[in-house]
Amino acid sequence: MNGKWLLEKDDYVPKKERDTYIDKSIISFLKIISRIRSVKNKDKVLYRIDPVLKVIFTVLNILFISLSRNFIYLFILDIYVFMSILFMDWEDRKKILSMSFIFPIMTLIMLIPSMIKGNIHNSLLLLQRILLSVLFANILSYSTKWTHISRTLKLLFVPDIFIWIMDISLKYSILLGEYATGLLYGLKLRSIGKNEDKQEAIWRIMGNLFLKSYRMSEELSCAMECRGFVGEYKVSIEFKLRRIDYIYGIINIIVIVLFVILNY
C-alpha cells in the first residue's frame, strides 16, 4: 500500500517560459569578458604596432585635436583615421564606426539651436573634434590589449596608484564576470516551469556578486599587507621598435608638424 504511488504515472508538466532575460544577461557578461581578454589578429598592420607608440601618439593626437581650430588640419586627420580603420579587422571596423557616430549624433542634436542662431562654424568645429577624438580612442581600444595600455601609462608618468587601480580593476572584472556567468548558468539549469518573480532571482545574483567582490577585496588587502605593499607598482614593458613602428611614428610626426604649420 505504501509503495503504490511508485506505480502511478506522473502527469506533472511544468509551464513553459522564455528565459531570454537569463540568456541576454549571460551573453552580455560573455561579451564584456571577451572584450577585455580578446587576443588581436596579429596579421593586420595596426595590431602589430608597438602599444607604447600607439598610446603616446593617440594621446597627442587627441590633445592637438582639442587645440586645433583649423578645418584643413581636421580634414587631414579624417583621412588619416579612416585609413587606419581600413587596416583593421572587419568586425572591429564595423564596431568602431557604429559606436563612434553615437556621441557626434547626440552632440549634433544638442547643437541645433546654436546652429539655427548662426553659430555654424564653432558648432561644426566642435562636432568634428568629438568625432575624431572618439574614433582615435576606439581605434586604440580595439587594436591594443587593455593590459598593454595600463602598462604603457607608466612611461607617461601616470601615478603608480592609478595604474595599479586600473590594472586590478580589469583583472577582477574578468573574475567577477566569470563568477556572475556561472551564477546565471546555475539559475538557468535550476529554473523549472514559470518563474513569477524574475527580479528576486536577479537581486539574489547581484547580492552574491557583491559578497564575492567584498571577500575578494579583503583577500587582496590582506595579501598586499603581507607582502609589504607601499604603493610602488612595477610593470614590465618591452619596447622593441620594428619597421612598421618607425613608419607609424614618422606618419604621426608629420601629422604633428602639420598641426604646428596650419594652426600657428
> Per-10-residue mean pLDDT for the chain, 264 residues long?
64 58 67 62 76 89 90 91 87 83 83 83 87 90 80 76 79 78 75 63 78 84 80 68 89 93 83
CA distance 181 to 32: 11
Place of cell 588587502: 221
pLDDT of res. 238: 66
Can you tell me the distance from the alpha carbon of 140 to that of 99, in angstroms, rounded to the nearest whole number? 14
pTM above threshold 0.75: no
Residue 258 · residue 73 · CB < 8 Å: yes
Spatial CB neighbours of 149, under 8 Å, sequence gap ≥ 6: 51, 55, 140
CA separation (Å) from 51 to 40, 146, 156, 239, 259?
12, 10, 13, 9, 23
